A and B are shown apart, each in its own frame.
Chain A
Amino acid sequence: MTAIDYTQEVPVVEGRPTAGQIEEVVLIPMNTKPGKVWKVLITITSLMLLTGTVALGYTFYYGIGMWGNNNPVGWGFDIVNFVFWVGIGHAGTLISAILFLLRQRWRTGIARFAEAMTIFAVMCAGIFPALHTGRFWLDGYLFPYPNQNHLWVNFTSPLLWDVFAVSTYFTVSLIFWYVGLMPDFATLRDRTENKLRKTIYTIFSLGWRHSTRHWQHYEKIYVILAGFATPLVLSVHTIVSFDFAVSVIPGWHTTIFPPYFVAGAVFSGFAMVQNVLIFVRQAFNLKHIITLNHLEKMNQVMIVVGMIVGYAYSMEFFMAWYSGNDFEMFTFINRALGPYAWAYWIMITCNVLSPQFFWFKKLRRSIPFMFIIGVFVNIGMWFERFVIIVTSLSRDFLPASWGMYTPTIHDFGILVFSFGLFFTLILLFVKSLPVVSIAEVKAVVDGAQPLHKGGH
């Protein structure tokens, strides 16, 4: 292990590739025929999609009675999965916006990919509440528009805030992503010989010509969009947490929920980005652009947010006792020792204990090890939502109205569907668009900027 030299900046991109080499490397997956691995993977994800479609079809035809939701536990897998997927999305915006504002230049290599994951994850998340409305072909009524029934939506309901938050989040992420892609589309347009491709790239590049007069506004809008996306990403999971916290259900109504949910979202999102990036850099030979340092930084972020999540768990537990409220106390004892204790301890093990291994530099930089921890974190974060939703609902104030929740095969089917959708979209993305922002990476290679000394 070499000692760190603090007087020098760690280069974002390893070696000093020229701009042309970066382009070549990034565009390899787009310009080559799909390999065997890719074909196998897409077969698997398509099969997942197909299996899920059956469950979806049943739900579609017979209604959500096919799910395990019952009377005390009116929210089951649907909301667990929704919160899980929205959370996965948060890492993308965090990387592309917050790290941009904090001038963490290591983000450039992974930002494009993480943003794409945001968009796909929000799409997956959207499935669940849309289905849970029961007759989802009427979901248009979720939006306030003047209708012949003279009805308006309830603006004071956190569920409606969700509609606004998630749709805003999706739209803003999409335009953020597209704005970043515009120069890359222009580069693709000027490189390709294929006529069809050229037409497509021409349309999407809108006529971009790398003009400094444009770059100037472009850099400004990047700051503005990042400035908006940062509070937006906080607001989205905050509003998701409001779905629970504005109620009076013990275990749901607690004021720490907003920051705690945001930290949890970033936690699971980073784990997912890290997991997928490990494959991408391996498969497409991007090891010098998505370096081990980047992965290490992501693992460091994971310890930080993991600790915040741990802080929230302990603070909730402490306050449940401190409050002197019998229902609060019972809820937390029930979580740790009740019928769903297994889920609670999976959550604690995966979320609080497993990232502690990242304190060791060797483990933090070991690819197989970090992959396993990433998977653990995702499992743990899924169970966190399960614990919050199911334990609180299954045993609230009146013992007479207690009940257990058992998911059905259709619940699992739709979960599989969402994973299938997510990974299929990712696989299609890596073959059709540059997975690394070409223009941004060119700008952070050593020697890409004029030297400041003597420059002015």
Chain B
Amino acid sequence: MEEKKIFSIAALFDTPDDITRAVKETTATGYTKYDVNTPYPVHGMEKAMKLKPSLLGFITFVIGVGGATFAILFMSWVTIVDYPLVIGGKPFFSWPAFVPITFEVTVLSASVGTVVAMIALFFKFPHNSHPLHDTNYMRKVSSDKFGINIVAIDPIFNEDKIKEFFKKIGGKEIETIYEEPFPKEIKMFDKRFIGALILVMLITSGVSYLVLNKLLYIQPYSWMSEQDKGLPQTKSEVFSDGFTMRQPVEGTIARDFIPYEYKGMKDSAVINLSNPLPYSKQVLAIGKSRFDTYCSPCHGYFGKGDTRLRDQFPKPPTLHSDKVRNWADGNIYHVITNGQNIMPSYEKQISRDDRWAIVHYIRVLQRSQNAKDSDFEDSKK
């Protein structure tokens, strides 16, 4: 068994006046590496020990200024650069509105920072294996006695002399405190410890999985996926006819809808109607876009009857037949508006003017698929 190393020699005193006097004498004798332990802060003790003033205030100041700067810069960056939104007609950089948060961030960072700095840097805590712990000395100064202990690293440390000195100045319960031997075996690889680690790992991952993948998708956390509303293609529970959507009142006309006066009266339409729109690039552009949207799925982009519907719907005849070429504009317009054979009416989907624009475009298509040699000559000129 090795010999125990001395950590310090300690003595106890009964009153604050005694300890203050004792500390003054200790300092006068020339000891520097000593500490005073009192159950509460005794006034004037740091003066008696000749301690330097605490530097904590400086740390607080630095962290506080840092926190304030960060808060202002961050909020400015968010509101000016990354996510500029006009709120309440205020400028992006509304400094008065930043003051409260800047203040809070300053206080938060400075207080937390100072406390952490004090505990970790100034106290070097946590430190639960200090030799003073669990000594009789510690138990006494923790309660109602005032203690002083001179540490072995003091340059003029001498066990007997110090004991004598303590006796002289009236110290009681003089005690030698030994350093704790360093533990031989490290318990890091204890089976129970490893087992506990694995258990924690399993529980954490299991709970995370359940929360993120299951819990977040059941009521009421279902991201509003379950709502009391009618969904498309489902039978309504509310209405006897099973439809969620209701029909408008009979005779209701949608805004901007102009009823077609020649419904089912092809001959009258052919005689009375003529295309009101001029041939122009704008009209043709509208006509092309509407044709491509509404007509081309069945008639094909060039009106050749090459449907894209792959036999889900009967193929319509080509628009380049002589019959259609010779139709009056009114006739084509009538077919679009009224429908013909299996083709439904498009009067609700396509507005009146757009229908006439389509008629113009069909004429252009017909002309393009029926070019003569003279056209070729004309283009050369």
Contacts and interface: CB of A to CB of B under 8 A. Distances in A.
B365 interface: no
Contact of B143 (A150, A151, A191, A203): A191
Nearest to A189: B142
B37 A228 contact: no
Contacts of A165: 100, 104
A155 B97 contact: yes
A215 B38 contact: yes
Contacts of B60: 224
A220 B118 CA distance: 10
Interface string B264-293: 000000000000000000000000000000
Interface string A170-207: 01100110010001001101110000000000110111
Interface stretch (B77-85, B153-161, B162-170, B346-354): B77-85
Contact of A207 (B79, B112, B130): B130
B41 interface: yes
B372 interface: no
Nearest to B224: A135
A64 B219 CA distance: 15
B46 A212 contact: yes
A239 B104 CA distance: 10
A179 B115 contact: yes
Contacts of A304: none
A152 B115 contact: no
B16 A450 contact: yes
B144 A18 contact: yes
B90 interface: yes
Given A190-B139, A220-B57, A19 B39 contact: yes
A232 interface: yes
Interface string A429-456: 0000000000110110001111100011
Given A217-B54, A455-B17, A152 B139 contact: no
A172 B39 contact: no
Given A190-B143, A209-B138, A232-B107, A175 B39 contact: no
B107 A63 contact: no
B46 A206 contact: no
A155 B75 contact: yes
Interface stretch (B120-128, B239-247, B320-328): B120-128
A225 B110 CA distance: 9
B111 interface: yes
Given A215-B38, A217-B122, A456-B44, A156 B104 contact: no
Given A19-B144, A61-B219, A212 B38 contact: yes
Interface residues of A, number: 76
A168 B104 contact: yes
B257 interface: no
B329 to A, nearest CB: 53
A18 to B, nearest CB: 6
A337 interface: no
A249 B139 CA distance: 62
A148 interface: no
Contact of A228 (B35, B110, B119, B216): B110
Interface in B79-110: 79, 82-83, 85, 87-88, 90, 94, 97-98, 100-101, 103-105, 107-108, 110
Given A62-B220, A203-B126, 5 more contacts: A154-B85, A207-B123, A218-B118, A221-B118, A443-B40
CB-based closest 9 A-B pairs: A19-B144, A443-B40, A190-B142, A207-B127, A156-B97, A220-B54, A212-B36, A215-B41, A206-B125
Interface of A: 18-20, 23, 60-63, 135, 137, 144, 150-152, 154-158, 160-161, 164-165, 167-168, 171-172, 175-176, 179, 183, 186-187, 189-191, 202-203, 205-221, 224-225, 228-229, 231-232, 235, 238-239, 242, 439-440, 442-443, 447-451, 455-456
23 contacts: A63-B220, A155-B75, A155-B78, A155-B79, A156-B88, A158-B100, A165-B104, A191-B143, A206-B127, A207-B133, A208-B125, A209-B37, A211-B37, A212-B41, A213-B49, A217-B56, A219-B41, A220-B57, A221-B118, A235-B103, A442-B40, A450-B42, A455-B44
Interface of B: 15-17, 20, 35-47, 49, 51, 54, 56-57, 60, 74-75, 78-79, 82-83, 85, 87-88, 90, 94, 97-98, 100-101, 103-105, 107-108, 110-112, 114-115, 118-119, 122-123, 125-130, 132-133, 138-139, 141-144, 216, 219-221
